[in-house]
Amino acid sequence: MSDTWDAVVVGAGAAGLFCAGVAGQRGLRVLVLDHSDKVAEKIRISGGGRANFTNRDLDPQAPHKHFLGANPHFCRSALSRYTPADFIALVQRHGIAFHEKHKGQLFCDRSADDLIQMLLRECEAGGVQRWQPCAVKALRQGGDGVYEIDTERGTERSRAVVIATGGLSIPKIGATDFGYRIAAQFGLRLVEPRPGLVPLTFDGEGWTPYAALAGLALPVRIETGEKKARMAFLEDLLFTHRGLSGPAVLQISSYWREGSPIRLNLAPEVELHAALARAKATSRKLLANELASLVPSRLADAWVQQDADWQRPVAEASDKALARLAERLARWEITPTSTEGYRKAEVTLGGVDTRDLSSQTMESKQPGLYFIGEVVDVTGWLGGYNFQWAWASAHACAQALPGR
């Protein structure tokens, strides 16, 4: 056994590396362990390889409105103390060029690797040790309150252990349930994990009319849930061979519950009923051709095939048939069979129950054991919010770790 570390961070992802760097620069003796030989793979593949690393639109006064969890207010403390502006300042200090795409989403100009190298430099500046690949076999607390960590390179002792191992999404880059197992070992509660920000799938005859639309993208309004539980987004939809994807569906998937429908307005910027009524009074074209001026032509063709009353010139269509068509496009209700699962999920919903964590420090009810990032039951919207939670929760933890 070596000398005692001040903190051992398990997980060399966004939250783990950032926490280690901040703690190391406070003068703490920090070791990072990860079972993979690669670092921060989720950063590397995010944002099309350019890492959507934060979101300017996050409101520090009400950050919880962009996050889900059994207690959405839990994330408020960390997010208000380490804001997007704080992380942007760090990125600028390292000379990394970035740009805003839309809705406050910030991306690296060149490559996500710029961000990874920044985190590694921050760790170097703090004298952080990093062992990879080096899996943790067991974790226990000794009689003196110090943790003993059995690793593939021997047993290490540490005053604090930070679990930053993420969730179950994208197993091909090394996702495991390690963090949940450690939480359970020390008697902490878990909110059942499930895939989030994930495409939805449909089976059976009900999907047959739409299967040929694979590859079609269009802006929509999408919603799910009823009354207070209703959630809606205005985003782009993408038809796939197996179902629906695109930002609209990824966003709503985090709120969707199995067995419940989703509702879509496929022409949210058009008053369809009025537009079709005008066309009936002035046009001799087929209804499908008139509809194609209001929505993508492939969508128009697929839609009119579903009802013989729509397969005629618009002037010959009955008012009832046009009203039915407008209603169907503006309020298409369909129930997904399932999701694409963790394989395609960008995040994991659920995780370590925030009732067993301090919102100020990320320390659990088990003294000296901390949980940060995706392993916690805090999940952000699409668009950089989950990385901001990684930075904010890591920073709160790093500032709270006791020194010597």
pLDDT band at 229 (very low <50, low <70, confident <90, very high): confident
Neighbours of 145 (CB within 10 A): 9
User: Which stretches within 59-216 are classed as H helix?
Assistant: 76-81, 84-93, 112-125, 178-185, 208-211
Do 261 and 332 touch, CB atoms closer than 8 A?
no
How far is Cα 279 from Cα 314, in angstroms, rounded to an integer? Answer: 7
Tell me how many helices (H) and strands (E) the chain has. Answer: 13, 21
Q: Which two tokens stand for residue 311?
A: 């397969």
pLDDT per residue as tens digits for the range 315-326: 999 999 999 999
Long-range pairs of 172-178 with CB within 8 A, sequence gap ≥ 24? 172/343, 173/36, 173/38, 173/41, 173/42, 173/45, 174/35, 174/36, 174/38, 174/41, 175/342, 175/348, 176/35, 178/10, 178/35, 178/136
Average pLDDT of span 80-98: 97
Q: Which two tokens stand for residue 209?
A: 């009319």
pLDDT band at 151 (very low <50, low <70, confident <90, very high): very high
How far is Cα 346 from Cα 278, in angstroms, rounded to an integer? Answer: 44
Q: What is the pLDDT of residue 2?
A: 54
Q: What is the pLDDT of residue 1?
A: 47
Q: What is the pLDDT of residue 22?
A: 98
Q: What is the pLDDT of residue 231?
A: 96
> Which string of DSSP letters, residue by residue, matches 139-171?
EEE-TTS-EEEEETTEEEEEEEEEE----SS-G
Is 228's pLDDT higher than 60? yes
Is 18's pLDDT higher than 50? yes
By percentage, how much of the chain surpasses pLDDT 70? 100
Identify the helix (H) or strand (E) that includes residue 370: strand 369-371
> Which string of DSSP letters, residue by residue, matches 211-227?
HTTTT-EEEEEEEES-G
Instruction: Please choose, from the candidates 199, 233, 204, 237, the residue with its C-alpha nearest in 3D space to the C-alpha of residue 218.
Output: 237
pLDDT per residue as tens digits for the range 27-63: 999 999 999 999 999 999 999 999 999 999 998 788 8
Q: Which two tokens stand for residue 221?
A: 């309004």
CA geometry: angle at 347 spanning 178 and 383, to 5°? 145
Instruction: Please choose, from the candidates 67, 60, 58, 55, the residue with its C-alpha nearest in 3D space to the C-alpha of residue 231.
Output: 67
> At residue 267, what is the residue type?
A
Average pLDDT of span 98-118: 97
- Displacement of CA 160 from its chain's centroid (Å): 28
How far is Cα 44 from Cα 50, in angstroms, rounded to an integer? Answer: 7
Q: Which residues contact 33 (CB under 8 A, 6 or more apart)?
A: 8, 9, 10, 11, 12, 131, 132, 134, 135, 136, 149, 151
Q: Is the dihedral of CA 154, 158, 163, 164 positive or negative?
A: negative
Q: What is the pLDDT of residue 76?
A: 95
Q: Which residues contact 240 (CB under 8 A, 6 or more apart)?
A: 199, 214, 215
Average pLDDT of span 53-78: 92
Chain-wide mean pLDDT for the chain?
95
How far is Cα 255 from Cα 231, in angstroms, rounded to an integer? Answer: 7
Q: What is the pLDDT of residue 374?
A: 98
pLDDT band at 205 (very low <50, low <70, confident <90, very high): confident
Q: Is the dihedral of CA 54, 56, 60, 65 positive or negative?
A: negative
Average pLDDT of span 344-369: 98
